[in-house]
Structure 1
Amino acid sequence: MKDSVYKSYEELPLFLNAKTVARVLGISPSSSYELMHQRDFPTLKIGNRIVVPKERFVQWVEQNTSGGNDECSDS
Structure 2
Amino acid sequence: MRRNVIQLVPRPPEPSDPASDATPAVYTVTEVARLLSLSRGITYASVRDGTIPALRVGSRWVIPKRRFHTWLDGRMEGEKR
**Band the TM-score falls in, shorter-chain normalisation:** 0.5 to 0.7
Q: Report the structure number with the largest CA radius of gyration.
A: 2
Structure 1 or 2: larger helix share?
2
TM-score (norm 1): 0.65
Larger RCO (alpha carbons 8 Å, 6+ apart): 1
Runs of 4+ aligned residues of structure 1 deviating over 6 Å after TM superposition are: none
Structure 2: segments with no counterpart, 5+ residues:
1-22
Deviation for aligned residue 1:13: 4.5
The alignment yields a C-alpha RMSD, in angstroms, of 2.2
Q: Which whole-Å CA distance do the structure 2 matches of 1:18 and 1:39 have between them?
A: 13
TM-score (norm 2): 0.60
Question: Alignment partner of 1:41: what SS?
Answer: coil
Q: How many residues align?
A: 57
Structure 1: segments with no counterpart, 5+ residues:
1-11, 68-75
